[in-house]
Copies of this chain bind each other. A is one copy, B any other.
């Protein structure tokens, strides 16, 4: 192992890093700490992954721990399950959101259920990293947000960092989890930077966080819609409206305590994600908030997200994707009620 320190922070001080780099550092820290951690997937070795998240890992940890696989997603996840049965902790990279579906059967019928099937005797500490979401002008299958399709299945945990610092900690926490974690990385923000202090105390993996306090409307977001919500909140502030933004961070389990607490104050709630609104995560959030904050709500919970159409060609994606204007339009509506 080339890093030497084995402490997990590589002895670094605070540093401005991109999310891709933060993930790389998080993977390194986990691999240094625990020799059973493996990284596997397509093009993750010499190339370092198409987003360079695994850059340098093959060189530093060798190809027994950084496994360039054949081109077969079911094979990647299926063999990761077998490796987990042997005591390894594989971290699988799926190249793009749209290519996770060949592995869907292994994920939902095997990975999600093996612990239950074996009455807890086989644990499945497998992480599946999925770069997700749009906004990068890509071709088909490279811009989708499939999180609801995983969160509906018990046995999986699903999380999504919205910034580099969370990414650094959350990937390590996901790897440490004895349960399988589907790890959604908002690809359009891979190159966004933040100040990372590896000596800081990490926030719990499955906890939501208020990332901007406010008083008029509660905006619930995760992954790529968090920066969006923050931008919308800035714009709203100029118009004299105060948005409270909650970053869910964990999609399953869902931590709605901060949302409910917030809605009890604001009486208004808007949920935003890139996935289609229909049966997207926002449906669950809206259903729960509507139930639990029934007497506090001054207006219906509104959802802002993708339309009920296939993710469109790149020149239409700015129309498809929720943007700050669409979010603010919903804010107007809940405030006008």
Contact = CB atoms under 8 A, between A and B. Distances in A.
Interface of A: 98, 101-102, 104-105, 108-109, 112-113, 116-117, 140-141, 148-149, 151-155, 252, 254, 275-276, 278-284, 286-287, 290-292, 294, 297, 299-303, 307-310, 337
A180 to B, nearest CB: 12
Nearest to A73: B105
Contact of A108 (B101, B105, B151): B101
Contact of A290 (B151, B154, B284, B300): B300
Q: Is the interface of A mostly helix, strand, loop or mixed?
A: mixed
A148 B152 contact: yes
Contact of A283 (B153, B276, B284): B284
Given A154-B276, A283-B284, 5 more contacts: A279-B281, A283-B283, A286-B290, A287-B301, A290-B290
B310 A152 contact: no
Nearest to A113: B310
Given A148-B279, A278-B151, A286-B286, A302 B291 contact: yes
A128 B148 CA distance: 22
Contact of A279 (B152, B307, B310): B152
A276 B302 CA distance: 23
B291 A283 contact: no
A300 B307 CA distance: 26
Given A109-B98, A287-B286, A300 B308 contact: no
Contacts of A284: 278-279, 283
A275 to B, nearest CB: 8
B116 A310 contact: yes
Contacts of A294: 297, 299-300, 337
A113 B144 CA distance: 13
A308 B151 CA distance: 10
10 contacts: A113-B310, A148-B279, A151-B278, A151-B279, A154-B278, A154-B308, A154-B310, A155-B310, A282-B287, A294-B299
Given A281-B279, A290-B286, A290-B300, A140 B152 contact: no
Contact of A101 (B109, B152, B292, B299): B109
A102 B101 contact: no
A112 B309 CA distance: 10
Contacts of A117: 140, 310
A55 to B, nearest CB: 28
Contacts of A141: 109
Nearest to A302: B291
The 3 closest A-B pairs by CB, nearest first: A101-B105, A290-B290, A286-B287
